């Protein structure tokens, strides 16, 4: 197994791959990112140990399976399965895929963790488009069970089957999704967050009321405003703009959501979104100018 890009997602992916028993090579364009990822994985496994979720022997074995791979071409030469988690940029991903596919064994599979780019377009830039697939993990990877397995136009059925096996061995539940904007989860999630903002704008209920209603009425662990504040409304808006452009009118971003982004009210990361947060990140209350 080779994981390329060891930021937020790549580190988590490398962790579950190593826990699943794979010798896991980790590569990043910035060597410091690999060191940081291995440190983070160690810390997270330590927490798992404290909570009784990970056994000492499993932690030690997982850490021993992680291997730094400073040279991408050399690493690719011994990788039967590659998961790419570099920045969300088509040109960067295509360059990485070209290097990997030039050196990898003839039956290797190339998965991308892209959130929104076209798997078909990434695959079209290399010689083996039938062995390219999407593996859409969720953050934080060690704790989120789902992997959306995204089939591009030319992805073969055996590639899908092998990807399912790998996902399961990593302790995940795979779901097959055909490539379409927003896949399954982001599309529904964007719709819920947008609709919640329309309801706030129309005065249907307060932000706290809408959040509480969805937590208690639909058993969602967080309400749509709590979740949007956590993810960041700027990111939400980008997803909605993409879905609006590709899927049409029903994804038109709510004007009130757009106004929040224009005001810099992005959520927890700016200290204020729909809610206000203390310096230590505690949710205090709905902001004074949030409609109620």
Ligand X SMILES: NC(=O)c1ccc[n+]([C@@H]2O[C@H](COP(=O)([O-])OP(=O)(O)OC[C@H]3O[C@@H](n4cnc5c(N)ncnc54)[C@H](O)[C@@H]3O)[C@@H](O)[C@H]2O)c1
Which positions lie near ligand X, rule CB under 6 A?
Answer: 4-10, 28-30, 33, 85-88, 92, 96, 113-115, 136-137, 139
The nearest distance, CB 87 to ligand X, in angstroms, is: 4
**Residue 193 in contact with residue 134, Cβ under 8 Å?**
no
Sequence-ordered list of residues with C-beta below 8 angstroms from that of 286, at least 6 positions apart, any chain: 206, 207, 208, 274, 275, 276, 292
List 285's β-bridge partners, or say none. Answer: 276
C-beta closer to ligand X: residue 115 or 154: 115
- H or E element at residue 81: strand 81-84
Q: Which is nearer to ligand X, 8 or 206 (CB)?
A: 8
The residue (of 95 and 158) whose beta carbon lies closer to ligand X is 95
Shortest Å distance, C-beta 135 to ligand X: 9
Nearer to ligand X, 17 or 286 (CB): 17
CB of 260 to ligand X, least distance (A): 20
**Residue 127: C-alpha distances to residues 10, 72, 101, 130 (Å):** 25, 18, 8, 9
**Measured between alpha carbons, how far is residue 69 from residues 2, 5, 34 in Å?**
9, 11, 9
Min. distance of Cβ 279 from ligand X in angstroms?
24
Q: Which residues face 266 on adjacent strands?
A: none
* Dist. CA 84–CA 96, nearest whole Å: 8
The closest alpha carbon to 174, from 138, 201, 211, 217, belongs to 138
Closer Cβ to ligand X, 6 or 159, answer by number: 6
State in angstroms the smallest separation of the CB of 34 from ligand X. Answer: 8
């Amino acid at each position: 197994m080779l994981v390329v890009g060891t930021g937020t997602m790549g580190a988590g992916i490398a962790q579950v791959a190593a826990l699943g028993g794979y010798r896991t090579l980790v590569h990043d364009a910035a060597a410091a990112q690999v060191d940081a990822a291995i440190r983070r994985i160690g810390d997270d496994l330590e927490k798992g140990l404290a909570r009784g979720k990970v056994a000492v022997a499993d932690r030690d074995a997982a850490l021993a399976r992680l291997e730094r791979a400073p040279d991408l071409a050399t690493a690719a030469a011994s990788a039967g399965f590659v998961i790419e988690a570099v920045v969300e940029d088509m040109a960067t991903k295509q360059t990485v895929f070209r290097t990997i596919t030039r050196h990898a064994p003839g039956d290797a599979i190339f998965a991308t963790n892209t959130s929104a780019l076209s798997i078909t377009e990434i695959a079209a830039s290399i010689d083996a488009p039938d062995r390219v697939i999407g593996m859409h993990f969720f953050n934080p990877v060690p704790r989120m069970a789902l992997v959306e397995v995204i089939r591009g136009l030319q992805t073969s059925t055996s590639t899908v089957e092998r990807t399912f096996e790998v996902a399961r061995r990593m302790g995940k539940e795979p779901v097959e999704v055909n490539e379409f904007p927003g896949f399954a989860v982001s599309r529904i999630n964007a719709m819920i967050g947008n609709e919640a903002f329309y309801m706030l704008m129309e005065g249907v209920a307060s932000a706290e009321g809408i959040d509480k209603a969805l937590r208690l009425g639909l058993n969602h662990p967080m309400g749509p405003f709590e979740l949007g504040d956590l993810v960041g409304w700027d990111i939400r808006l980008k997803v909605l703009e993409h879905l609006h452009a590709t899927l049409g009118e029903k994804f038109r971003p709510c004007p009130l959501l757009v106004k929040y982004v224009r005001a810099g009210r992005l959520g927890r990361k700016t200290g204020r979104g729909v809610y206000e947060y203390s310096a230590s990140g505690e949710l205090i209350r709905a902001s004074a100018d949030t409609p109620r």
